[in-house]
């Protein structure tokens, strides 16, 4: 062997050894002790979460050898700069990912890793793929951002950081403590799942105590109950990391990879529609008796396809993705099981965010209607009910995907319009059980005649108020295009969704709400 050849082989070995050493260090994240502590708590690390997210063997990392650039010492202690980024396939479709590595500087945002996030966002948008944010971060990295120079170099240099034009789906998981960029990208996302034990807030309890002298527990500040039941910022709650990641994958199965595509079509589940013959059994004959509308939704949709969003928030309204004949559909349905199905401010916010998401990604909407109207009173006005009703209507009329409404039992007043009546849907059908009027008949008798229940003449006047409220009377005006048998509802909707599909645009809507605020 010549001296030249020996020298070349030695050079190649050194290259390989250096590459292997650096790769091993990067993959080790914050070290074996920190990883072991997480595993003992049942928490996945940043790379294990990616393994759970993507189809096996498809992850391609971007930025493996990145580190902090603040100082040489920090570079040695910051493999991948605390955020693992790259691309992989979910059910065969390419998706970008940002997975926060809390074992490295608490996954704090630094000069290098913010560039990695920006690159993922840019590639996902330009190449038409979803992006998943696996959130867990302590916030901004103080040495990088303190001082005027730190602020000038660190913050505000991405003019699109807060911009959502919904070109591609964004999905986020609150997988631990989420401050800083982790709460930012969660609130900007189309679907947000939180693992119990996770926290999402603007600032940590420690900083709040320093600034305000107020002591507060992290769970009270931004835990799963607050955000799933009070703020509505979280769409779903999970028990484990694995469950949260599986929910993200399932959500994406209903959506296209980008807004220029129709949603994917799936095989129809065996047994779909088999409960339709007895569907009327689920609805009590009296308008004052409660029932769970979610059972109606499940019966109408393909079997096992319902994916409810915000189930703990605004419970008077159900918002759920599902499939009909294998195609993605968004369901918006009043639920009399809670407060009789009366619409309130939370329900309006819930409906708006769901309509914006469905319209942005070409998912048609089905409204199932049974509501006495909107809540009224002082508390409702304090919650800005009037403004939210108008926002609800504004969003509804900006929807460009097909909209179908079925009046199941009752609909009164403004809620008739907000749930798709009055030509606010492409087709409106009613069950023979439907009752439509400007006001609940009992209230109307009192308003018009001054007579209250139990007083002489009330029952006779009530009968007069109720006599023209039925489905066939509104069908006479063609405000309802069809009166349908309850057992025919699934077949009717499947046919109407096919008739009203966006044939001229390849299943793609106009996306008039693509820039609607993500959290409000």
Segment 369-380, tens digit of pLDDT? 999 888 878 888
Cβ distance 404 to 496 under 8 Å?
A: yes
Q: Decide which of 194, 220, 254 is a domain's last residue.
A: 254
Residues 57 and 200 in one domain: yes
What count of Cα atoms within 13 Å lies in the side-chain half-sphere of residue 366?
Answer: 30
Specify if 205 maps to a domain: yes
| Dihedral angle computed from the Cα positions of residues 392, 397, 399 and 401, in that order, rounded to the nearest 10 degrees | 130
pLDDT tens digits along 302-326: 999 999 999 999 999 999 999 999 9
**Whether residue 488 sits in one domain with residue 458:** no
Based on the fold, state whether residues 371 and 447 are members of the same structural domain: no
Backbone angles phi, psi at 403, to 5 degrees: -125, 125
Q: Please report whether residue 260 resides in a domain.
A: no
Q: What is residue 473's predicted lDDT score, i.e. its pLDDT?
A: 92
Q: Using a pLDDT cut of 90, give the percent of the chain over it.
A: 68
CB-based contact 167:125 (threshold 8 Å): yes
pLDDT on residue 294: 98
Looking at residues 137-154, what average pLDDT do you find?
67
In a domain, 511, yes or no: no
Task: Assess if residue 34 is contained within a domain.
Answer: yes
The pair of three-digit structure tokens given for residue 340, joined into one six-digit string:
């009789």
Look at residue 463 and tell me if it is in a domain. Answer: yes
Contact 306, 297 (CB under 8 A): yes
- Give yes or no: residues 224 and 129 share one domain: yes
292 and 398 part of one domain: yes
Q: What are the DSSP calls for 157-208, one per residue?
A: --TTTT----SS-EEEEEEEEEETHHHHHHHTSSEEEEETT-EE-SS-HHHH
In a domain, 373, yes or no: yes
Tell me the CB-side half-sphere exposure of residue 302, using CA atoms within 13 A. 20
pLDDT of residue 152: 63
Same domain? 71 vs 152 = yes
pLDDT of residue 21: 93
Q: How large is the angle between the packed helices 345-360 and 385-398, nearest 10 degrees?
A: 20
368 DSSP β-pair partners: 333, 406
Question: How confident is the model at residue 444, as a pLDDT?
Answer: 47
Given a cut of 70, is residue 465 above it in pLDDT?
no
Mean pLDDT of 345-354: 96
Same domain membership, residue 297 and residue 280: yes
According to the model, what pLDDT value does residue 148 have?
64
- Distance (Å, rounded) from C-alpha 186 to C-alpha 232? 12
Q: Which two tokens stand for residue 87?
A: 């691309």
Whether residues 415 and 463 share a domain: the answer is no
Question: Which of 409, 414, 410 lies closest to 375 in space, CA to CA?
Answer: 414
- Round the average pLDDT of the chain to a whole number and report it: 90
Question: Has residue 153 got a pLDDT over 70?
Answer: no
Lowest-confidence pick of 152-156, 264-268, 344-348: 152-156
Decide if pLDDT at 464 tops 80.
no
Give 447's pLDDT tier (boundaries 50, 70, 90): very low
Q: Which of 262, 363, 259, 360 is nearest to 307 (CA)?
A: 363
Q: Quickly state the pLDDT bin for 448 (edges 50, 70, 90).
A: very low
Q: Do 237 and 204 belong together in one domain?
A: yes
Task: pLDDT band for 367, please (50, 70, 90 cuts).
Answer: very high
For residue 269, is it within any domain? Answer: no
Classify 102 as helix, strand or coil.
coil
Residue 409 is part of a domain; what is its CATH number? 3.90.226.10
Q: Is the pLDDT of residue 386 over 80?
A: yes
**pLDDT above 90 (res 399):** yes
**CA Rg, the chain, in Å?**
27
Closest CA to 419 of 401, 434, 407: 407
Domain span holding position 496: 276-434+470-505
- Name the phi and psi angles at 247, rounded to 5: -65, -40
Domain-embedded: residue 37: yes
Grade residue 192 by pLDDT with cuts at 50, 70 and 90. very high
Q: Are residues 464 and 474 in the same domain?
A: no
Number of domains in the chain: 3
Do 239 and 346 lie in one domain? The reply is no
The answer on 476 and 452 residing in a single domain is no
Query: Mean pLDDT across the stretch 434-451?
Result: 61
């Amino acid at each position: 062997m010549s001296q030249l050849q020996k020298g070349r082989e030695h050079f190649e070995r050194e290259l390989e050894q250096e590459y292997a050493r650096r790769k091993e260090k990067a993959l080790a994240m914050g070290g074996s002790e920190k990883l072991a502590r997480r595993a003992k708590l049942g928490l996945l690390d940043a790379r294990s979460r990616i393994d759970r997210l993507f189809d096996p063997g498809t992850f391609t990392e971007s930025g493996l050898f990145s580190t902090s650039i603040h100082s040489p010492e920090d570079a040695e202690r910051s493999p991948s700069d605390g955020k693992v980024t790259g691309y992989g396939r979910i059910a065969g479709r390419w998706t970008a990912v940002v997975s926060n590595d809390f074992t490295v500087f608490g996954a704090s945002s630094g000069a290098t890793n913010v560039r990695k996030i920006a690159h993922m966002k840019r590639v996902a948008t330009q190449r038409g793929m979803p992006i998943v944010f696996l959130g867990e971060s302590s916030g901004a990295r103080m040495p990088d951002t303190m001082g005027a120079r730190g602020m000038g170099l660190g913050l505000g240099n991405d003019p699109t950081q807060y911009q959502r034009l919904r070109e591609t789906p964004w999905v986020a998981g609150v997988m631990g403590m989420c401050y800083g960029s982790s709460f930012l990208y969660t609130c900007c996302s189309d679907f947000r799942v939180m693992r119990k034990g996770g926290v999402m807030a603007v600032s940590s309890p420690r900083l709040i105590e320093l600034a305000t002298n107020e002591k507060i527990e992290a769970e009270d500040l931004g835990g799963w109950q607050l955000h799933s039941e009070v703020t509505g910022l979280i769409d779903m709650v999970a028990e484990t990391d694995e469950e949260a990641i599986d929910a993200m994958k399932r959500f994406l199965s209903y959506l296209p990879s980008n807004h220029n595509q129709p949603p994917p079509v799936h095989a129809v589940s065996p047994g779909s529609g088999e409960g339709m013959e007895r569907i009327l059994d689920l609805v009590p004959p009296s308008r004052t008796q409660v029932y769970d509308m979610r059972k109606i939704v499940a019966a109408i949709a393909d079997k096992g396809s319902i994916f409810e969003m915000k189930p703990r928030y605004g419970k008077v309204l159900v918002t759920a993705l599902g499939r009909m004949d294998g195609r993605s559909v968004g369901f918006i349905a009043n639920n009399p099981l809670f407060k009789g199905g009366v619409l309130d401010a939370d329900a309006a916010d819930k409906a708006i965010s769901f309509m914006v998401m469905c319209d942005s990604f070409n998912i048609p909407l089905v409204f199932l209607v049974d509501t006495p109207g909107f809540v009224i009173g002082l508390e409702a006005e304090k919650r800005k009910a009037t403004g939210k009703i108008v926002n609800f209507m504004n969003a509804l009329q900006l929807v460009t995907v097909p909209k179908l409404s079925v009046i199941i039992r009752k609909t009164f007043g403004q809620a008739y319009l907000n749930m798709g009546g009055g030509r606010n849907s492409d087709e409106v059908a009613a069950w023979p059980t439907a009752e439509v009027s400007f006001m609940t008949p009992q209230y109307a008798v009192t308003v018009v005649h001054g007579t209250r229940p139990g007083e002489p003449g009330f029952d006779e006047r009530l009968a007069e108020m109720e006599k023209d409220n039925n489905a066939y009377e509104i069908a006479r005006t063609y405000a309802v295009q069809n009166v349908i048998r309850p057992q025919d509802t699934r077949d009717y909707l499947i046919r109407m969704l096919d008739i009203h599909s966006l044939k001229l645009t390849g299943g793609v809507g106009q996306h008039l709400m693509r820039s609607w605020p993500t959290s409000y």
